[in-house]
Amino acid sequence: MGGWDVHTHLIPPTVLAAAHRGEHGLSVDSGSLVVGSDRLPLRRLADPAALLRWIEDQGLDGAVVSVPPALFRYDAGPEWAELVNQGLRELATPQLRVLAHLPLLDPAAPGVAAGLAGEGVFSGFAIGTPSYAGLDPVWRVLDAAGAFTLIHPGASDDRRLDSFYLSNLLGNPYETGVAAASLVFADVPGRFPGIRFCLCHGGGVTAAVAGRWQRGIDTARPGIEPVSLPVSEALRRFYVDDLVHDDAVLELLTSTFGAERVLAGSDWPFPMGSDKVSAARSATAGELTRPLAKEVSAE
């Protein structure tokens, strides 16, 4: 068995068709999908056959597909989520497993999640890094479904990161760390152990600051409430991909999260991704990302 790449991206065909029609505030210009201030070069992002060639070249069984973070658009509501998810359904094949999109901040999100979990199409969910305050109803559904849930950073609103490509080089790891901290300090891993969260880009800054988080708990810093798990144990309930470009950091990920929880993730087809998938780290993801087919309640 060749294993799975858990971190790849495609633009769903329904989104591309809507852009060509000028719907949902989208457009196509000079070979790029325009989403607000973001421009996504189409090329391989709109070419599932190119991803299948990557799978073959890497000797993989398949890849797990999520939409690029510019398409999360949490202000666009359930209608946008359904457009995205219909396109993801069309992309799903035995070699391409798809992660559903949720209208995460909309009151409809728990019901949408429950419906998608029972379809037998989606292998879990991909979510961004907005505020997670008030999302217990969503976590309850994902917990009941035992859902693989990829956390991919969205854009930071820190304007100091506009120079030197820092919005990606530093902003993305920071955003993922904020997301992980929000979950750890809200005791989400302890209260909802069925959710199989996977942090992109090695969890960003998470492993480097885990000891600092524990110190904050130990010294009862302001705003910190008691949690059921020490930070080290909470983090061992997460998965991370291995996209860190540094062997020393891979060793840190292994000691922080556990070797069996470091998965192969390439970020295909983006330039900041990897050129080679680890055969050893790709082997675990096949079982984790089997399509969900579990009826759950949003109540």
Q: What is the pLDDT of residues 205-232, one digit of tens each?
A: 999 999 999 999 999 999 999 999 999 9
Residue 295 located in a structural domain: no
84, exposed or middle or buried, with CB in 10 Å at 0-12, 13-18, 19+?
Answer: buried
Residues 6+ apart with CB under 8 A from 293: 118, 119, 120
Residue given tokens 């540094």 in the structure block = 246
CATH no. for residue 251?
Answer: 3.20.20.140
pLDDT, tens digit, for every residue of 37-75?
899 999 999 999 999 999 999 999 999 999 999 999 999
**What is the bridge-based pairing of β-strands 196-199 and 148-151?**
parallel
pTM: 0.96
pLDDT, position 250: 97
> Cα–Cα distances in Å, from 119 out to 54, 102, 112, 122, 166?
28, 14, 11, 7, 39
Q: List Cβ<8 Å contacts ≥24 apart for 105-111.
A: 105/74, 105/75, 105/130, 106/74, 106/77, 106/78, 108/77, 108/78, 109/135, 109/137, 109/138, 110/137, 110/138, 110/140, 110/141, 110/298, 111/298
Sign of CA dihedral 173, 212, 236, 181: negative
For residue 289, is pLDDT > 80? yes
pLDDT for the residue numbered 1: 55
pLDDT at 187: 98
Q: Residue 297 falls within a domain, yes or no? A: no
Please check whether residue 164 lies inside any domain of the structure: yes
Residue-averaged pLDDT of the chain:
96
Q: Is the pLDDT of residue 204 over 60?
A: yes
CB atoms within 10 A of CB 143: 19
The verdict on residue 201 lying in a domain is yes
Residue 294 located in a structural domain? no
Task: Give per-residue pLDDT as tens, 133-167.
Answer: 999 999 999 999 999 999 999 989 899 999 999 99
Percent of the chain with pLDDT over 90: 95
User: Residue 83 domain-assigned?
Assistant: yes
Instruction: Kindly report the number of other CB atoms within 10 A of residue 182's CB atom.
Output: 16
Q: How many domains does the chain have?
A: 1
In a domain, 242, yes or no: yes
Instruction: Flag whether 194 is in a domain.
Output: yes
Return d(Cα 35, Cα 19) in angstroms, integer. Answer: 9
Q: Which domain holds residue 227?
A: 4-289
